[in-house]
């Protein structure tokens, strides 16, 4: 099986030993505590599950700036985005060497992790703008990733963590949420050697389905990991339970049995385009995947990134020996009326726009909310049915 990034074996930060877990939970109740923001809580979940291997906790200012500028920590380790615990107010933990981190996304704000505090520093406005420019490609507050980053506070609390739980994800998504440890174990149980991963924050239409099949066949993969984001998205995005149901139905009906794992991870979307694509590749390698699909405008939002920036970053900014996972580069996929199948547009230079069945997201949402199924060449009818029910309930609830 492919090695994790940065170490021989995966080192999740969740405390699996029951005795140590109970001791840590008891200790945490007596420690100074900090109610962290949702982005930091997502980082805790990813660190706990082994997705962010080989990191041992939250970065300090020097590492965050170095990673933003050069995608290298101060010790020279490749990493694509700063992993931060930031806050507006640190008065409750001032002078503390060990603190309890409380989860903003669960009722009662239970302790999610214990952190050893190595430093509490302040990001300057220049550093905030530099990180935003390098990671998101802009300082524009209209970019949801930038506005979220800027709104999370200037105080940076760095140091290693021990994770006590995975927030609300195991309870809300018991059939879907998986740690990198669990995915690796399942890949091993399947006996898969070559695994291609597909990232999604949306329901999967026919083109996505066929893209997974093209990648599977293109790299001769034993299986496909459909890996959906379960954390916070921007307003208007379809909720995770609806995405989950529609993807599972598509896999059940249109993929051979035991060739696809439908899973999810607990993280808030960054919308950081190319940089987030590299982060996605890192944690798919940690999950045991050998290949990762990157298509047009991967992890993008608005018009902040070029359509293939998330692919070219692997040529321009990622050192050749940094990652073992290989990138499967995809073009826009759509149904060809000429060929009666879904194709990548780059593979059919003789086609014009009129030769494809193309629908905008706005048009699809309109159709679904009116109870009109998109054409089967665009969306499988079983998937469309689930999405129509969701959109019609949304309309009825307004």
The DSSP output letter for 177 is: B
Query: CA-CA distance, 305 to 297, in Å (whole number)?
Result: 7
- Alpha carbons within 13 A on the beta-carbon side of 214: 21
Find tokens 């029951």 and name the residue: 18
Burial environment of residue 147 by CB neighbours within 10 A (0 to 12, 13 to 18, 19 or more): middle
201 is annotated as an active-site residue: yes
- Bridging pattern class, strands 291-294 and 326-329: parallel
Query: 78 CB contacts (<8 Å, ≥6 apart)?
Result: 71, 72, 318, 319, 322, 323
- Bridging pattern class, strands 155-163 and 57-58: antiparallel
**Given 202, 248, 329, 365, the catalytic residue:** 202
DSSP string, 240-285: HHHHHHHHHHHHHHHS-TTSEEEEEE-------HHHHHHHHHHHHH
Query: CA-CA distance, 330 to 332, in Å (whole number)?
Result: 7
37 is annotated as an active-site residue: no
**Given 201, 248, 296, 329, the catalytic residue:** 201
Structure tokens at 188: 């091993």
What is the C-alpha R_g of the chain?
Answer: 21
Torsion from C-alpha of 390, 299, 329, 290, nearest 10 degrees: -90
Convert 68-99 into a string of H (helix), E (strand) and C (coil): HHHCECCCCCECCCCCCCEECCCHHHCCCCEE
Q: 204-232: buried (b, 16+ CB within 10 Å) or exposed (e) per residue? A: bbbbbbbbbbbbbeebebbbbbbbbbbbb
Query: CA-CA distance, 98 to 27, in Å (whole number)?
Result: 10
Query: CA-CA distance, 50 to 39, in Å (whole number)?
Result: 17
Q: What is the set of active-site residues?
A: 201-202
């Amino acid at each position: 099986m492919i090695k994790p990034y940065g170490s021989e074996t995966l080192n999740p930060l969740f405390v699996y030993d029951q005795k140590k877990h109970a001791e840590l939970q008891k200790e945490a109740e007596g420690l100074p505590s900090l109610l962290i923001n949702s982005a930091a809580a997502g980082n805790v979940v990813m660190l706990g599950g082994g997705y962010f291997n080989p990191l041992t906790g939250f970065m300090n200012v020097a590492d965050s700036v170095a990673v933003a500028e050069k995608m290298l920590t101060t010790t020279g380790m490749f990493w694509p985005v700063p992993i931060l615990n930031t806050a507006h107010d640190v008065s409750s933990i001032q002078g503390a060497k060990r603190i309890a981190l409380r989860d903003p996304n669960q009722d009662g704000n239970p302790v999610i992790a214990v952190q050893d505090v190595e430093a509490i520093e302040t990001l300057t406005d220049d550093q905030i703008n530099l990180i935003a420019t390098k990671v998101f490609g802009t300082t524009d507050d209209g970019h949801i990733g930038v506005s979220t980053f800027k709104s999370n506070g200037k105080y940076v609390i760095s140091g290693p963590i021990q994770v006590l739980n995975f927030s609300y994800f195991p309870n809300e998504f018991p059939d879907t949420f998986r740690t990198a440890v669990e995915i690796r174990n399942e890949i091993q149980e399947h006996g898969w050697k070559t695994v291609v991963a597909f990232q999604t924050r949306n329901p999967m239409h026919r083109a996505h389905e066929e893209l997974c099949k093209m990648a599977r066949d293109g790299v001769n993969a034993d299986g496909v990991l459909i890996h959906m984001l379960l954390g916070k998205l921007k307003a208007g995005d379809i909720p995770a339970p609806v995405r989950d149901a529609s993807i599972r139905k598509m896999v059940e009906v249109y993929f051979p049995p035991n060739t696809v794992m439908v899973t999810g991870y607990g993280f808030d979307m960054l919308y950081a385009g190319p940089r987030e694509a590299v982060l996605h590749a890192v944690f798919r390698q940690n999950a045991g995947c050998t290949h990762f699909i990157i298509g047009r405008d991967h992890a993008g939002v608005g018009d902040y990134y070029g359509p293939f920036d998330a692919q070219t970053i692997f040529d321009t900014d990622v050192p050749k020996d940094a990652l073992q996972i290989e990138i499967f580069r995809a073009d826009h996929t759509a149904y060809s009326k000429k060929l009666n199948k879904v194709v990548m547009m780059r593979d059919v230079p003789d086609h014009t726009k009129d030769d494809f069945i193309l629908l905008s997201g706005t048009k699809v949402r309109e159709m679904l909310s009116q109870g009109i199924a998109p054409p089967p060449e665009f969306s499988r009818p079983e998937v469309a049915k689930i999405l129509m029910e969701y959109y019609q309930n949304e309309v009825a609830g307004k």
